[in-house]
Structure 1
Amino acid sequence: MGNRPMQSCLGRCHCGAVQFRIETDFPELTTCDCSICRRKNALMVKVHESRFALLAGEDSLSEYRFHTGTARHYFCKVCGIYPFHRKRVTPDYLGINVFCLDDFDPEGIPVRQAAGAAMA
């Protein structure tokens, strides 16, 4: 952590209805083996809610909860893309789908496999 500079990145869903900004130094990226993450196949960066701003599209977001109902997964109602979710274990953090970030290159950032399927 900390050997990359803090960056401000813009992100959006495919159709552009949902737009957001994050600030992060990209300490690591994560994948998860839980049932929903396996299906959406996203690569995520964890961002504190104070470093996240929804710029447009609140009314275009659909929320999905499952299992304990704690994690809040968001999808664009128009194009179906998953841009982010509010995390279950650390609800003041969001998991941001880095493939929704403009001009993002994950090269050189370590990727950690999260064991979401084992969470009870």
Structure 2
Amino acid sequence: MLHGPKKTQALAGELRRNMSLPEVLLWQELRKRPGGLKFRRQHPAGSFILDFFCARHRLAIEVDGEAHDRGDRPVRDQRRDAMLIAAGIRVLRIPAKEVLGDLDAVVAHIVATALPPSG
């Protein structure tokens, strides 16, 4: 399981209390355990904090608002994704506008990504 230093853990707690609207809406659905998946929200991973993390299926979900396109954020996101991939974690980036526009489709996509097709 991924962990972070105490400073990152404290920041994760702060972020849990101040989630964005798309994060809140997605969390309301993910906490229902769609497809039997258990997610943690604002989970520390080294010096980073994942929006949502399913440990069993090693899947990180990142809700990207428009701020992810500005400044050093794209480079930081690439660095974070590379660290996660190197640790065997899949990263699913979802635009915030998709969460706001079609939450059911986003949740279905998350479940389909996490669970391999049976057969």
TM-score (norm 1): 0.27
TM-score (norm 2): 0.27
The structure carrying a bigger helix percent of its residues is 2
The structure carrying a bigger strand percent of its residues is 1
